[in-house]
Amino acid sequence: MSNFVEMSIAKAINAGMRKAMHDNEKVLVFGEDVAQLGGVFRVTEGILDEFGPTRIFNSPIAESGIIGTAIGLAMRGYSSVAEIQFDGFIFPAFNQITSQLAKIQNRSEGFLTMPVVIRVPYGGGIGAIEHHSESPEAYFAHTPGLRVISPSNPNDAYWMIQQAIASKDPVLFFEPKRRYWQKGQVNLDHPPASMHTAQVLHEGHHATVAAYGPMVAVALQAAEIAAEEGTSLEVIDLRSMSPIDFNTIITSVMKTGRLVVAHEASTHVSISSEIAARVTEQAFYHLEAPVIRVGGFDVPYPPAKLEEKFLPDADRILEAIDRVMGY
Partner 1 sequence: MSAQESARVPMVQLLSPDGQYGVPKEYAEYAKYIEELTEADFLKFYRDMAVMRRFDVEATALQRQGQLGLWVPAIGQEGAQIGSGYGVGHLDHIFPSYREHGVAITHGIDLMAVLKMLRGVNHGGWNPDETRFHLYAIVLGTQVLHATGYAMGVKFDGKVGTPNLADNQAVISYFGDGATAEGDVSESFLFAATNHAPIVFFCQNNQWAISSPVNSQTTVPLYLRGSGFGVPGIRIDGNDVLASYAVTKKHMDDARNGGGPFMIEALTYRVGAHTTSDDPTKYRTSEEVEYWKARDPLDRLEKFLRRQGIGDSFFEECDAAGEAMATDIRAQTFALGEPPIENMFQHVYSEPHPYIEEQQQWLNNYEASLEGGAE
- Name which position in 42, 107, 205, 268 contacts partner 1 (CB under 8 A): 107
User: Where in 122-141 is the site for partner 1 (CB under 8 A)?
Assistant: none
Q: Is the peptide bond before 243 cis (omega within 30 degrees of 0)?
A: yes
97 contacts 225 by C-beta, under 8 angstroms: no
Q: Return the half-sphere exposure (C-beta side, CA atoms, 13 A cut-off) of residue 245.
A: 21
The dihedral sign for the CA sequence 104, 108, 109, 112? negative
The reply to whether 163 sits near partner 1 by the rule CB under 8 A is: no
Contact status: 267 vs partner 1 (CB under 8 A)? no
Return the closest-CA partner of residue 318 out of 230, 219, 250.
Answer: 219
The DSSP string of 285-310 is: GG-SS--EEEEE-SSPPPPGGGHHHH
**Binding flag, residue 240, partner 1 (CB under 8 A):** no
Contact flag: residue 164 with partner 1 (CB under 8 A): no
Q: d(Cα 157, Cα 204) in Å, to the nearest integer? A: 25
Output the smallest distance, CB 199 to partner 1, in A. Answer: 17
Concerning whether 268 is annotated as a catalytic residue, the answer is no
Of 143 and 231, the one with the shorter C-beta distance to partner 1 is: 143
52 near partner 1, judged by CB under 8 A: no
Q: Measured from the CB atom, is 69 or 162 closer to partner 1?
A: 69
Chain-centre distance for alpha carbon 77: 26
13 to 42, contacts with partner 1 by CB under 8 A?
28
Which sequence positions are flagged as catalytic?
Answer: 132
Applying CB under 8 A, the residues found at the interface with partner 1 are 28, 54, 59-60, 62, 64-65, 68-78, 92, 95-96, 99-100, 103-113, 144-145, 147, 167-169, 243, 246
